[in-house]
Amino acid sequence: MLISVARTALCTKLHPELANQLVDIVVDAVNIIRIADKPIDLHMVEIMHMVHRLAGDTQLVKGLVLDHGARNPDMPKRLENCYILTCNVSL
């Protein structure tokens, strides 16, 4: 039922090929954040517009996406098992 609702909503706003690609992504995103017996908090899903990507490259990332790049040329390109602090307030 969710897939049908998502397809109907998306097909009225997007090109049919892109809408069909996004249907499963949208339904998966909502199902991931859904908690039984609680209202769905859609603030837990964010759409990031990537200027260097095409609409057809759209994918669901189950986690945190940081698309800020390095702040210094000497910074490593990849880190594993690290801690990341994110703040949504002015410092």
Task: Dump pLDDT digits (tens) for 23-80.
Answer: 999 999 889 889 999 998 888 888 777 777 788 888 888 877 766 777 788 888 888 8
The reported pTM is 0.63
- pLDDT of 75 reads 84
Confidence at 83, pLDDT banded by 50, 70, 90: confident
A 10 A CB-CB count for 37 gives 4
Task: Dump pLDDT digits (tens) for 12-26.
Answer: 998 888 899 999 999
